Amino acid sequence: MSDTHAQSVAFVRDTAIPPSPAPSNAAGPIKWMRDNLFATWANALLTVASLYVIFLVLSATLPWIFGGLWTTSSLAECREVLQGRSAACFSVLTDRWNQLLFGFKYPVDLYWRPTVAFVLLFVAGAPVLFFDLPRKLLIVTALYPFIAYYLIWGGTIWTPLFALAGFGVGYYVYSMLVHRSFAIGFFGGIAAAIVAWIVGSFLAGALASETPFLEAVPSRDMGGFMLNMMLGVTCVSLSLPIGIALALGRQSSMPLIKVVCVVFIEFIRGVPLITLLFVANVMLAYFFPPGSGVDLFLRVVIMITMFSSAYIAEVIRGGLAALPKGQYEAADSLGLDYPQAMRLIILPQALKISIPGIVNIAVGLFKDTTLVSVISMFDLVGMIRGPILASTDWNGVYWELLGFAALLFFVVCYGISQYSQWLERRLATDHR
Amino acid sequence: MTRNHVTLKVANNKVRDTGNSFMTTFTDPPTESFRLSMLLNDTRYRSGTMQAIAAILLALALFYLYSNLSANLKAAGLNISFDFLGSPAGYDINQTLIDYNSQSSNLQAAIVGILNTLLVASLACITATVFGVLAGVLRLSNNWLVRKLMAFYVEIFRNIPVLIWVIIIFTIMTAVLPGPREFRGDNATSSMFLDLFAFTNRGVYTPGPQFTNGFGGAIDWLLVIAVLLASLFATRAVTASANQKQADTGVRPKTLWVNLAIWFLPVIALLTILGLTWDVPELKGFNFSGGLKIGGPLIALWFALSIYTGAFIAENVRAGIQAVSKGQTEAAGALGLRPNRVMSLVVLPQALRVIIPPLISQYLNITKNSSLAIAVGYADITATLGGITLNQTGRAIECILLLMLFYLVISLVISAVMNVYNNAMKLKER
Amino acid sequence: MKKSVIFGALTVAGLAAGAAAAGTLDDVKARGKLNCGVTTGLVGFAAPDANGEWKGFDVAVCRAVAAAVLGDASAVEFVPTTGKTRFTALASGEIDMLARNTTWTFSRDVDLKFDFVGVNYYDGQGFMVPKDLGVSSAKDLDGATVCIQTGTTTELNLADFFRANNINYEPVPIETNAEAQQQYLAGACDVFTTDASGLAATRATFEDPAGHTLLPEIISKEPLGPLVRHGDNEWGDVVRWTLNALITAEELGVSSANVGEMASNTNNPEIARLLGTEGTLGEMLGLDADWAKRAIETQGNYGEIFAKNIGEDTPIGLARGLNAQWTDGGLLYSPPFR
């Protein structure tokens, strides 16, 4: 039995195989480098090439940056001090930092006002961005537009007060009428607010004192990075409600509303922002009543708000489409009418889904505010290409200024996109 | 006291009295009389009311805007007319794809602008896709350093406005590249690359193809394109027949050399028949003449747009590849497919479905961002029609309307392409 | 917040609706500030210094008008405009006058509906080339690359000149003067062309002004002057005669130093009428009698303005040339104050 098998099997091991060496459980930098940087020949080549590129770039820019001069008063003086070496002339930043940040016409002794408004922006934005904070802080958010307007533009205090009063009157009328029907409440509130504003503007004109507490600064004097931030914050916050309305209108069952919304959205999304800014610059003034000079800042805000509301409408439309149809049906079966269903069930979920898209659009819009330099508004890029480079002292300084502008934008936009990623992680955990 | 009558309304509208009311009662639906508040509260009428109100408000708003517009125009003494398109432009353009001189009409200048926009947009789309796909795939590589470098590239370019990048790249180009003067003289500091290409801060001068035996004009190029298209169809036929043979017998015939021959031989033959020669650029006077000139502004705008949009495309590509579940790669490995086959046969086709819609909207963004050409002196449509023509003729409203019309048409075309693609993809999924 | 700005603006417009028909002069007086359109930055003509104060040749004309109308030469709001936006700013009422080295041409006067109220600088378009290019005449520029600022008459003149002389060129259109300079200095173009005064101003800011020459050909007539809108003759008269007052002051020997003395005791009846001690010229304009005196006092006469901003002792170094008084062989000839 075993004999026959023993003769027919080709090979039978009779000694044990020696033990193999244990698998490497090494950890540490060398192993990490071998795995991540030098795993294969191709990888090793890529690593060497990347290191070489990094070395080239750093060796060109670091000495230039660290050898920079901060205290000369003109480019010619920089060149004198450098005697032909290549180094940055950062003195343009120390000399003109205030013009870069605030524009060259904003009165210097009033810089504290936009700075306070900027600090308050964080306080006002915090309860909206971080929803762990107490909800009472939302009062600051609601009051912030009026406070910021008053701080930055100055002038009579009655204007922001009457504007606030208009909102208050509108909300009061809305709450009185809404139990009849949402539509009556909504339109009644708007009508009451409009009446309150018209009355208030006349009263403000009458009550305005000759020497207001905060000196008035016309919009034309705004400039620099402050202008970019103002345009970005104003247009994004104004375009959110308009974008929601457009998105709801686009998927409405009323054909007229739907057609109007579709035409508006597709038209605005089809043209570049520069053409809309041209419209703001040359055409929009013709559409206002003859003799009323609406200032350029307001016209630009109108066009940029229209632009971003169309994009936000598309993002929210995507969010609305991502909702399961069951939500609409459940709202109907609970007996909720359209405004209640939207307000209580649909919109909260849709907005939560669309938040990353909305933040993307906000970042894109903030970057696009640099385009106002093309219509000769002196924002950060406009200041660099215009007055600063044209002045005798600083004619020819490019890298330092452009690098500073790039750095400012990078800090803000990267911050916003990091917030958006944090937010996505937070929101995703809710859905588990 | 009235007797409780129950009345039946029958089909011919006669009223029949059924007698006492204790029998089964048929009640008609209550026919309420029409009340005005039903306009707002009754859902049957509400949407009609809303639309009527909206239509009235819209008409009022449009009328208000129109009356303001005509009043302002009358006060300024201006009118809306498109006659300026026929009058001579009066200015020269440096980069034109068609014949143009300063006596050509404004309409011709606008057409030159349109062609320039389409040129830079298509070039930038191609290179942006290349940059984007490369960066996207490299962001998923095993090499930590490469991953971090690509992440750095993407973050840097996405967070800085495109206008600043366009200005920076144009400034780099003008500062770093030499002027034509430095190619001249005995101790020239720069020389032509391979004696064929000249990289200057005014543009890149390359040898330009000329046909000595050709029919002249665009006909030669149309012939070349026709031959290339024929080669395309021929290779597709060859590949299809190879696929069929593989499906039937399991053996795939070698198609590589056949395809290469089909691509190259007919075109080379045609070019030899047409007498292709190269016109090499030479430094004459102030600039290089002869050959093909690719202007500095075009290169700067092209490069800036591609490298900026490439960062966004890289993110789309990365999201697309990561959207394909790992199980697919593992299953493909279990089937014994090699890594490059896994990528091309299994991962990429599925990833493309997620990548392509945002990719097309990035192409739309490239076309719209090309309007920044005025910052670098490139004559696209915003610079000719919306810039120089607008200034010289003062016809702001007409020029801006035409400008917006052009961009709208392009966007609608690209969106239609995207919709066609989306629908085609949808049909394949069951 | 923005709605209140709208309503505030509409309120002001409504309240001033009655006054809207009354003209720019009343608007300026009511506002208390003159809105003056200038260039974004051309040293010598209009440029803000490091403190944000505007100085220059065109700036002085604006300040003179402000002094004449409002009594305060600093009550001016300078609105920087590019070549693109200057005409729309004036047409829309954003600015009251445009003093932006703008050429007086038929189409701007007739088609764009503006009124040029005078010429404050007779200029012409010229070319600037680096000296080591070895070019001595504009006719040798066949095939050259030329940097130009878009939106100006420059590009049209350039096209006409090269076409008339049957030579070719490659235009490089640039938006702002500063970028045109950068391109020119980096060698991206061989030639820089703009008005000869602009060339001189630009060359003055270069590191090595002597390494660049201005070619002798002046290929166009560029009469530069301030302009106002059509349809407001009263305001046009004010600006026109303020400019004429500055020119006449130099002709008659009135300067900022001696204007007080001249006002009190002079034998020349025209000086007396100019400075308001005789006649009712100010009243005819709708201003008070000292209008011209204030303008000359604060800014100086034409010669002083020229010398201070673009004269031969400044880095720009322009000679009077065509801009001398007619008595010295130039073209400046003001109608009499009578």
pLDDT tens-place string over residues C111-128: 778 889 999 899 999 999
Residue, of C227 and A11, whose pLDDT is higher: C227
d(CA C34, CA A411): 40
* pLDDT score at B404: 94
pLDDT band at residue B151, thresholds of 50, 70 and 90? very high
In the predicted structure, residue A268 carries a pLDDT above the cut 90: yes
- Show which subunits contact A, needing at least 3 CB pairs below 8 angstroms: B, C
d(CA A357, CA A308): 12
CA distances from C267 to B49, C248, C249, C273, C278 (A): 83, 16, 15, 11, 11
Identify the residue among C172, C184, C215 best suited for mutation to test binding to B, counting B beta carbons within 10 A and taking the highest: C172
Most confidently modeled of A6-15, A158-167, A241-250? Answer: A241-250
d(CA A201, CA A194): 10
Q: What is the mean pLDDT of chain C?
A: 84
- CB spacing of A288 vs B68 below 8 angstroms: yes
Angle (deg, nearest 10), helices B43-76 and A255-270: 40
- CB spacing of B369 vs A272 below 8 angstroms: yes
Question: Is residue C258 less than 8 Å (CB to CB) from chain B?
Answer: no
* pLDDT score at B3: 53
Question: Is residue B140 less than 8 Å (CB to CB) from chain A?
Answer: no
Rg (CA), chain C: 21
In the predicted structure, residue B30 carries a pLDDT above the cut 70: no
Burial class (CB in 10 A: 0-12, 13-18, 19+), A189: buried
In the predicted structure, residue C129 carries a pLDDT above the cut 90: yes
> What would the mean pLDDT of B389-412 be, rounded to a whole number?
89
CB atoms within 10 A of CB A155: 20
Residue, of A178 and A101, whose pLDDT is higher: A101
* pLDDT score at C21: 42
Structure tokens at A276: 């809309």
**Percentage with pLDDT > 90 across chain C:** 24
pLDDT band at residue C279, thresholds of 50, 70 and 90? confident
Identify the residue among B167, B340, B378, B401 best suited for mutation to test binding to A, counting A beta carbons within 10 A and taking the highest: B167
Q: What is the mean pLDDT of chain B?
A: 84
Question: A186-205 pLDDT, tens per residue?
Answer: 888 888 999 998 888 888 88
- CB spacing of A270 vs B407 below 8 angstroms: yes
- CB spacing of B379 vs C173 below 8 angstroms: yes
In the predicted structure, residue A298 carries a pLDDT above the cut 80: yes
In the predicted structure, residue C101 carries a pLDDT above the cut 50: yes
pLDDT band at residue A412, thresholds of 50, 70 and 90? very high
Say if strands C97-103 and C34-39 run parallel, antiparallel, or are unpaired. parallel
Structure tokens at C102: 């703008």
Question: B260-273 pLDDT, tens per residue?
Answer: 998 889 888 888 88
Cβ pair A208, A156 in contact under 8 A: yes
Q: Which of B289, B297, B394 sits opposite C87 (nearest CB)?
A: B394
Place of tokens 């306009």: B39
Q: Which of B78, B91, B396 sits opposite C159 (nearest CB)?
A: B91
CB pairs under 8 A between B and C: 108
Question: Is residue C230 less than 8 Å (CB to CB) from chain B?
Answer: yes
Distance to chain C for A235, nearest Cα, Å: 11
> What would the mean pLDDT of A1-27 be, rounded to a whole number?
76
CA distances from B230 to B225, B243, B266, C100 (A): 9, 20, 9, 60
SS3 per residue for C89-103: HHHCCCCCEEEEEEE
Closest CA to B238 of B222, B259, B224: B259
CB pairs under 8 A between A and B: 152
Contact list, A162 vs chain C (CB under 8 Å): 4
Contact list, C7 vs chain A (CB under 8 Å): 197-198, 200-201
pLDDT band at residue B312, thresholds of 50, 70 and 90? very high
SS3 category, C125 = strand
String of DSSP letters for A181-237: -HHHHHHHHHHHHHHHHHHHHHHHHHH--SS-SBPP--GGG--HHHHHHHHHHHHHH
* pLDDT score at A307: 95
Question: Is residue B201 less than 8 Å (CB to CB) from chain C?
Answer: yes
* pLDDT score at A2: 56
Question: Is residue B50 less than 8 Å (CB to CB) from chain A?
Answer: yes
Q: Against a cut of 0.80, is the pTM above it?
A: yes
d(CA A416, CA A420): 6
Q: What is the dihedral of CA A385, A386, A387, A388, to 10 degrees?
A: 10
> What would the mean pLDDT of C142-155 be, rounded to a whole number?
85
Residue, of A285 and C166, whose pLDDT is higher: C166
pLDDT band at residue A282, thresholds of 50, 70 and 90? confident
Contact list, A340 vs chain B (CB under 8 Å): none
In the predicted structure, residue B123 carries a pLDDT above the cut 90: yes
In the predicted structure, residue A398 carries a pLDDT above the cut 60: yes
d(CA A409, CA B387): 28
Identify the residue among A52, A286, A372 best suited for mutation to test binding to B, counting B beta carbons within 10 A and taking the highest: A286
In the predicted structure, residue C92 carries a pLDDT above the cut 60: yes
In the predicted structure, residue C149 carries a pLDDT above the cut 50: yes
* pLDDT score at A326: 92
> What would the mean pLDDT of A7-27 be, rounded to a whole number?
82
CB atoms within 10 A of CB C101: 27
Q: Which of B54, B143, B162 sits opposite A256 (nearest CB)?
A: B54
* pLDDT score at B302: 94
* One-letter amino acid of B196: L
* pLDDT score at A392: 67
User: What chain B residue is nearest to A254 in terms of C-alpha separation?
Assistant: B47
- CB spacing of A402 vs B164 below 8 angstroms: yes
Question: C244-260 pLDDT, tens per residue?
Answer: 999 999 999 888 888 88
- CB spacing of B158 vs A260 below 8 angstroms: no
In the predicted structure, residue C20 carries a pLDDT above the cut 80: no
Most confidently modeled of A16-20, A36-40, A137-141, A365-369? Answer: A365-369
Question: Is residue B417 less than 8 Å (CB to CB) from chain A?
Answer: no
- CB spacing of B286 vs C88 below 8 angstroms: no
d(CA C31, CA C16): 11
Range of lowest pLDDT (A269-278, B358-367, B384-393): B384-393
Distance to chain C for B407, nearest Cα, Å: 21
> What would the mean pLDDT of B99-110 be, rounded to a whole number?
88
CB atoms within 10 A of CB B243: 12
The secondary element (H helix, E strand) that includes residue C295 is helix C291-299
Range of lowest pLDDT (A160-164, A293-297, C7-11, C112-116): C7-11
CB atoms within 10 A of CB B138: 19
d(CA A153, CA A163): 14
Burial class (CB in 10 A: 0-12, 13-18, 19+), B233: exposed
pLDDT band at residue A4, thresholds of 50, 70 and 90? low
Residue, of B275 and C328, whose pLDDT is higher: C328
d(CA B113, CA B381): 4
Q: What is the dihedral of CA A196, A202, A208, A214, to 10 degrees?
A: 50
d(CA C167, CA A414): 52
Range of lowest pLDDT (A221-230, B184-193, C142-151): B184-193
A233-246 burial by CB neighbour count: b if 16+ within 10 A, else e?
A: bbbbbbbbebbbeb
In the predicted structure, residue A262 carries a pLDDT above the cut 90: yes
Q: Which of C160, C170, C187 sits opposite B179 (nearest CB)?
A: C187
Range of lowest pLDDT (A272-281, B19-28, B195-204): B19-28
- Tell me the ipTM for this assembly: 0.84
- CB spacing of B149 vs A54 below 8 angstroms: yes
Contact list, C181 vs chain A (CB under 8 Å): 395-396
* pLDDT score at C5: 44
d(CA A182, CA A197): 22
Place of tokens 């600006």: C239
* pLDDT score at A56: 92
Contact list, A197 vs chain C (CB under 8 Å): 3-4, 7
